Amino acid sequence: MLAGFGKIEITPPLGVELAGYGYYLGRRAERVEDPLFARAAALEENGETFLIVSCDCLGLSREIVGAVEAGLSQAAGIPADHVMIVSIHTHTGPAMKYHGGCGQVDEAYTAGVADKILSVCHLALADKKIVEQLCFVCQPLEKPIAYNRAFAGNPVDGKARFFVLRRQGGLPMVLSSYACHAVCQGNVRFISADYPGRVCALLDGAPALSMYLNGACGDIDPIRCNMEERPKRLKEFAETVAAALEKGEGNALPPTVSGGEIKASLRLAPLSREDIHALADRANQRETEPPGGGRVARAWEEEMIRNYEPDRREEAFCARYVALGGVPIIALPFETYTLTGMLIRQETGDERGLVLGCAGEMMGYLPTMDDYGRHSYASQDAFFLYRRIPTLPGEAERLGHEIGQKLAAAMKREKQP
């Protein structure tokens, strides 16, 4: 098995609007707290190459992802289902795609992002070296650092997971993962990769080549604190995640890699034109959280009516997976909740597996039934932000089981001689 690593800066210019924390805030970047990067890992065995790419941004657009996949296919012969692109979901980075009122897209900046991601992939491909040892660590954190913001009784995955690839004639590569919204910095006016960037910086100093893969973080936030305490909390958060690698007992894995694509469909709520108008009216009549949601709902209403498809009940999507040493890494195009990740691991029978969110172009939140019962923002208003048709309640649970079963079947097939 061969493995290569690439890293390239994707920091936007000052003045770009930062994404997240509320509608129409006009959060223009005034300085760079820490730069943003795209990182790529190229993994090859038996002539097949897989790429894992992590970008320091909230989420990517369909156009950027499509351009990267097409470029890799043309230039390197790597098929799209061998390419996994995820975002760390930082709220102190630029919007790469439309997010109603939550960050205006800087077209001049985003026009060059696909080329930069392609460049980092080629850097990783050119850096491939023999993997002498592949280790995996799955370690509970020494103290709680996050909570479930959706519902107090809902779970938090308190484990950090790491792959360590020691390479002949090169620095080791570390792929680290924990599941939490990247919002330690809070509602500020500077550019930052938040805690994932700090984790990478700590592990880079080991020294190693580090990549962060954010887990199913749709319902998970850092433990609350006031703004004055946030720098200290950010430091402690990153140190706690990074320390899990040192404290954990590494398990040797066979140096193998495989992967592919799992196809699925998201079931959508049936909406008449009257339903569309009623949902937008309701959002404008109630006090929305955050403020400004009524305006976003009207923009959603306009687009839904303009592109109305009365018979649309499903939307196809794919979840890419890479099995590294037999341990699956699967990435879903949602702000995925913890429970969905747990169900996927349950179906595969492998608690080690990494379940990532924010893959490719995000399709919005995938809230659980508990969230629907609370009439929360994620289940009641977030589809306005993404300009999408709301999903049917229960999709998070159904897809957790379905994707987990399909992943288990794929892993079983790959183990057969």
pLDDT of 179 strictly over 80: yes
- pTM beyond cutoff 0.75: yes
Whole-number pLDDT of residue 286 = 75
Residues 217-276 have pLDDT tens digits of 999 999 988 989 999 999 999 999 999 999 998 899 999 999 999 999 999 999 999 999
Whole-number pLDDT of residue 174 = 98
Residues 288-338 have pLDDT tens digits of 566 788 899 999 999 999 999 989 999 999 999 999 999 999 999 999 999
Beta strand pairing call for 146-148 and 220-222: antiparallel
Whole-number pLDDT of residue 218 = 95
Domain ranges of the chain: 2-257
**How many other CB atoms sit within 10 Å of the CB of residue 281?**
14
Residues 3-19 have pLDDT tens digits of 999 999 999 999 999 99
Cα separation, 409 vs 328, whole angstroms: 12
Q: Indicate the average pLDDT of the chain.
A: 94
Whole-number pLDDT of residue 252 = 97
Give percent above pLDDT 70 in the chain.
Answer: 99
Residues 369-395 have pLDDT tens digits of 999 988 888 998 899 989 999 999 999
Give percent above pLDDT 90 in the chain.
Answer: 84
For the chain, the three-class secondary structure string (H helix, E strand, C coil) is CEEEEEEEECCCCCCCEECCCCCCCCCECCEECCCCEEEEEEEEECCEEEEEEEECCCCECHHHHHHHHHHHHHHHCCCHHHEEEEECCECCCECCCCCCCCCCCCHHHHCCHHHHHHHHHHHHHHCCEEEEEEEEEEEECCCCCEEECCCCCCCCCCEEEEEEEEECCEEEEEEEECCCCECCCCCCCEECCHHHHHHHHHHHCCCCEEEECCECCCCEEECCCCHHHHHHHHHHHHHHHHHHHHHCCCEEECCCEEEEEEEEEEEECCCCHHHHHHHHHHHHHCCCCCCCHHHHHHHHHHHHHHCCCCCCCEEEEEEEEEEECCEEEEECCCEECHHHHHHHHHHHCCCCCEEECCECECCCEECCHHHHHHCCHHHHCHHHHHCCCCECCCHHHHHHHHHHHHHHHHHHHHHCC
Q: Is the sign of the CA dihedral 221, 198, 43, 82 positive or negative?
A: positive
Average of per-residue pLDDT across 57-83: 97
